[in-house]
Amino acid sequence: MLLKAFARQQRCIFLDFHRTRLVLPILILKLFSLVCRRSGRAVAVLLAVALGACGRSDDSQITVYRIPKEAQAESTSLPAGESTASPIEVHWTAPSDWQEQSASGFRKGSFLVRAPDGKTADVSVISFPKAAGGVLANVNRWRNQLKLTPISTEAEAGTPTEVEGHDMFFVDLVSDQPITADGTKTRVLGGILPLAQETWFFKMLGPDQLVESHREAFKQFLGSVHIAERATTDAAAPVSGSLSTNGSGNTNAPTPPPIEPSQGAPLQYTLPPDWQEKPLSPMRLASFKAVASNGKEADVSVVSLPGMAGGDLANVNRWRGQVNLAPIGEDALAKTARHVQANGHDFLVVDLVSDAPMGDQHEKQRILAAVLDENDRSWFIKMTGEDAAVESQRSAFTNFLQSLKLP
Amino acid sequence: MSTAATTSSNLLRTPFRALASLQLTVVCLGLGMLLVFLGTLAQVHLGIHAVQARYFQSLFVFWSPPGMSWKIPILPGGYLLGVILFVNLIAAHATRFQFSRKKLGIILLHFGVILLLIGQLLTGLFARETQMRIDEGQTLAYSEAPREVELVVIDSTAPDYDQIVSIPEAVLAREGPIQNPTLPFTIKVRQFMPNSRLVMRSQAPQAPPSTATVGIGKQVVVSEEPRTVRDEERDLSAAFIELEGLQGSLGTWLVSNALLDRQSFELNGHTYSLVMRPRRFYKQFALTLLHFAHDRYAGTDIPKNFSSRVRLVDLERNENREVIISMNDPLRYRGFTFYQAGFDNNDKTTILQVVKNPAMLLPYIACGLVALGLLTQFSMHLFAFVRKQPR
């Protein structure tokens, strides 16, 4: 009786899941049901249960489900007053012809501006903790999206305005050439509002003409920004954000906040065009990968240590060891090193190339490094990589030094 | 049993004996050792995840001659060996089984081994390891499979919920038409690339025109890449999908987990969005990261302890409490185990490993049974020996 029911079940498995991996076990099972004595049947049933379970893998099943709208789900599931979010709230009023979009990811507000001809511009409101790298780094990030060259001073970045006693930075950028498929230039209007614990970014991005025609509306929008203390009984509404690697194919995707050191004021710099920020390690205050035109990468690090950190000579000799060069003395160092003046700092710069190819790739290795001893701290800015890659990034390295503002 | 069945059962006795033979056990164990050895070597080129799938969680290990598309099985895979060993053990008991008190230890021991084999099979089939990445202050009700993507079609028409159709990678990889009764169109997967490289068209002006006719895909050049085998790297999957409604094609989109924004369109008054993302597994509860702590030994950068203070909210079960998850102190809830696995973003983001293994207890029970069996068998021999000694 049991066996009959069991045989039916087998057939079900067989019909429901045309899976080759089940055929063999089922054949073995049939063999069992013919041969086994009563003692073996119990075990055979056990086997059947195990095999029956095999068919229920969900790896190739399409599923349909409903979830609460993401922003809503977040606010309802968080108990009142339990948020670790900042104690202030930022409000704004958008012009009535802007279409409100659901805020998602990093966005705290999102609007769509439509032109009569169907073109659209995107308005986003984003906040990042602390200084988020500073005004300059963020303006340069936007400039990069428009394929504009980076700038090095805040004065070029935009014009300061005031919102409720806070400095807001107004930015107006337009691309030199068309960068979208429809052949029009792209314009960015932006407002950067640094507050005590976070920085807010208001941005309109879209076709030049459309954004231009909404300039006044955007300025009014910035003017409507209102900062309030968060009431403690208020249910917090934190913003969801699924972190994802930043796709290269999306100019509009919010970038994760730029580097900030864990202590002291943030490091400010201009990111050279071929450089990308890398995750920080405990020692590094900033970390980049510089991509040379041949696709090879060089690693750039900014490290700061208290005191003299062993002195210049010891560090230079340590680096010489890394590229298989013999140590040198003070005199030789004074002769080979050059000095670079940047922002009132005097960097000692050494450029070390290995005599012979080394490493996995059998290429000459090179270290280009700048050292600065100032105010009881030592600073090391170092680029490591294959000779050709470092060579192609030499001017970018110097530009980076010029742009670097040490706290 | 009928006469016919009796005859066939006699016919089958001989191969059945072979199935129960000890030689088969030895051959299987030998092949198992060979499999482990070759699988370990293959990790150099394939990486641990591919080797697990091809060598151990498979019926056969296939090899295709260089440049050929067909493949031949060269070794039995882990599942096949496990099943044969399992059947061998049961067959041996079925043919020679006689219950006696003397053999109680042996029976317990073998039952333990059988349970261990079943447990391993169930773990291989059902255990799922996913990850939750939560920023401080963020609430998440789902975990993600780090090495698997899904294509989701989100219908965000309703004001209070999103209806999501999730199509896992395995279905996309078949590159066939996909239909779902909740969708008014057929999804035709034109090309699926498990790993790919996306470049803006402006940076590769000489590239051939895109397959995509709608959305961001027109501005992107995609090239297929071999799947990554390195543990610290992730694939960037991409697919060209064409949607076909009743009135014909709606266009071809490029979807990829490298593209962050949803690509939306409207059809029959509904708003649909297409997203490719790491495969999500929604839970009936949500976790909020209140604080992530990264303690270091005083004066050094050497990590001492990582812990996440989270709030667990389960409306269904009326749970609302704070939990601390630290390195050796996971949270177990509703069949899931949350381990502290990592951190990111300057200690502002925690990474939890979420493990669901319905067969988690089986190995413990199996080992207990084996130990009990050994103990019974040895003590029975010991008592018999002691009793035989002249006093």
Determine the pLDDT at residue A30.
57
- Please tell me the least confidently modeled range out of A15-24, A48-57, A393-402, B110-119: A15-24
Do B315 and A77 lie within an 8 Å CB cutoff? Answer: yes
Among A86, A126, A240, A250, most B C-beta atoms within 10 A, so best to mutate, is A250
What average pLDDT does the segment A344-373 reach? 85
Q: Which residue has the higher pLDDT, A218 or A260?
A: A218
**ipTM at complex level:** 0.73
HSE-up (13 A, CA, CB side) for residue A407: 16
- C-alpha dist (Å) from residue A164 to A223, A225, A226, A341: 9, 8, 7, 40
Give yes or no for a contact between A322 and A305, defined as CB atoms under 8 angstroms apart.
no
Closest CA to A100 of B230, A263, B215, A92: A92
Other residues' Cβ atoms within 10 Å of the Cβ of residue B295: 11
Give yes or no for a contact between A39 and A32, defined as CB atoms under 8 angstroms apart.
no
- C-alpha dist (Å) from residue A186 to B216, B260, B302: 15, 20, 48
DSSP string, B158-197: SSSEEEEEEEEHHHHHTT-EE--TT-SSEEEEEEEESSEE
Q: Does residue B87 register a pLDDT over 50?
A: yes
Give yes or no for a contact between A173 and A97, defined as CB atoms under 8 angstroms apart.
no
- Nearest chain B CA: its distance from A73 CA (Å): 9
Q: Does residue A255 register a pLDDT over 70?
A: no
Which residue in A34, A239, A244 is closest to B9 by CB distance? Answer: A34
Q: Which helix (H) or strand (E) holds A2?
A: helix A2-16
Rounded-to-integer distance, Cα A194 and Cα A224, Å:
16
Rounded-to-integer distance, Cα A238 and Cα A77, Å:
11
What phi-psi label fits residue A156: left (phi over 0), alpha (psi between -120 and 50 degrees) or beta?
Answer: alpha
Give yes or no for a contact between A98 and A111, defined as CB atoms under 8 angstroms apart.
yes
Q: Which helix (H) or strand (E) holds A54?
A: helix A38-54
Give yes or no for a contact between A329 and A335, defined as CB atoms under 8 angstroms apart.
no
Do B141 and A57 lie within an 8 Å CB cutoff? Answer: no
DSSP string, A308-347: TTT-HHHHHHHHHHHTT-----HHHHHHH-EEEEETTEEE
- C-alpha dist (Å) from residue B154 to A86, B139, B167, B189, B275: 31, 20, 11, 17, 8
What average pLDDT does the segment B75-104 reach? 84
Q: Which residue has the higher pLDDT, B126 or A7?
A: B126
Give yes or no for a contact between A258 and A130, defined as CB atoms under 8 angstroms apart.
no
Do B59 and A65 lie within an 8 Å CB cutoff? Answer: no
Rounded-to-integer distance, Cα B186 and Cα B183, Å:
8
Please give the residue of chain A at the shortest CA–CA distance from B89.
A43
Do A44 and B200 lie within an 8 Å CB cutoff? Answer: no
**Residue spans of alpha helices (H) in chain B:** 3-19, 22-51, 78-96, 104-126, 169-173, 362-388
CA dihedral (A331, A337, A340, A345) positive or negative: negative
Tokens 């319905």, located at residue: B358
What phi-psi label fits residue A376: left (phi over 0), alpha (psi between -120 and 50 degrees) or beta?
Answer: left
Q: Does residue B130 register a pLDDT over 70?
A: yes
Determine the pLDDT at residue A257.
32
Provide the β-strand partners of residue B273.
Answer: B154, B264
What phi-psi label fits residue B293: left (phi over 0), alpha (psi between -120 and 50 degrees) or beta?
Answer: beta
What average pLDDT does the segment B53-79 reach? 84
Q: Does residue A85 register a pLDDT over 60?
A: no
HSE-up (13 A, CA, CB side) for residue A33: 18
What average pLDDT does the segment B226-247 reach? 83
Closest CA to B358 of B114, B83, B122: B122
What average pLDDT does the segment A248-260 reach? 32
Averaged pLDDT score across all residues of chain A: 70
Rounded-to-integer distance, Cα B321 and Cα B324, Å:
10
DSSP string, B281-349: EEEEEEEEEEEEEEEE-TTS--EEEEEEEEEEEETTTTEEEEEEEETTB-EEETTEEEEEEEEETTTTE
Q: Are strands B60-63 and A88-91 parallel, antiparallel or unpaired?
A: unpaired
Give yes or no for a contact between A299 and A289, defined as CB atoms under 8 angstroms apart.
yes
- Nearest chain B CA: its distance from A240 CA (Å): 6
Q: Which residues contact A164 (CB under 8 A, 6 or more apart)?
A: A225, A226, A227
Do B260 and A105 lie within an 8 Å CB cutoff? Answer: yes
Determine the pLDDT at residue A12.
35
Rounded-to-integer distance, Cα B347 and Cα B291, Å:
9
Strand segments (E) across A16-154: 63-68, 88-91, 99-100, 107-114, 120-129
Other residues' Cβ atoms within 10 Å of the Cβ of residue A139: 24
Which residue in A62, A244, A262 is closest to B167 by CB distance? Answer: A62
Q: Does residue B100 register a pLDDT over 60?
A: yes
- Please tell me the least confidently modeled range out of A33-47, A88-102, A330-344, B122-136: A33-47
Closest CA to B171 of B162, B179, B182, B160: B179
Residues from chain A contacting residue B225 (CB–CB below 8 Å):
none
Whole-model pTM: value is 0.48
Determine the pLDDT at residue B112.
92
Rounded-to-integer distance, Cα B382 and Cα B386, Å:
6
Model confidence at B34, pLDDT cuts 50, 70, 90, reads: very high
Q: Which two tokens stand for residue B173?
A: 């990889």
Determine the pLDDT at residue B308.
92
- Nearest chain A CA: its distance from B382 CA (Å): 30
Q: Does residue A95 register a pLDDT over 90?
A: no
Give chain B's length: 391
Please give the residue of chain A at the shortest CA–CA distance from B200.
A249
* Contacts with A, B 23-82, CB within 8 Å: 59, 79-80
Closest CA to A370 of A358, A360, A362, A378: A378
Other residues' Cβ atoms within 10 Å of the Cβ of residue A325: 16
Dihedral pair phi/psi, residue A62, rounded to 5°: -80, 130
Rounded-to-integer distance, Cα A275 and Cα B102, Å:
75
**Under DSSP, is residue B211 helix (H, G, I), strand (E, B) or coil?**
coil
What average pLDDT does the segment A112-132 reach? 80
Determine the pLDDT at residue B284.
87
Q: Does residue A406 register a pLDDT over 60?
A: yes
Tokens 């000779």, located at residue: A387
Q: Which residues contact A96 (CB under 8 A, 6 or more apart)?
A: none
Give yes or no for a contact between B326 and B305, defined as CB atoms under 8 angstroms apart.
yes
Q: Does residue A77 register a pLDDT over 60?
A: no
B110 in A contact zone (CB under 8 Å):
no
Which residue in B171, B259, B344 is closest to A60 by CB distance? Answer: B171
Q: Does residue A247 register a pLDDT over 80?
A: no
Do B345 and A256 lie within an 8 Å CB cutoff? Answer: yes
Closest CA to A303 of A326, A319, A325, A321: A319
Please give the residue of chain B at the shortest CA–CA distance from A245.
B258
What average pLDDT does the segment A328-341 reach? 84
Do A39 and B97 lie within an 8 Å CB cutoff? Answer: yes
Q: Which residues contact B202 (CB under 8 A, 6 or more apart)?
A: A147, A179, B219
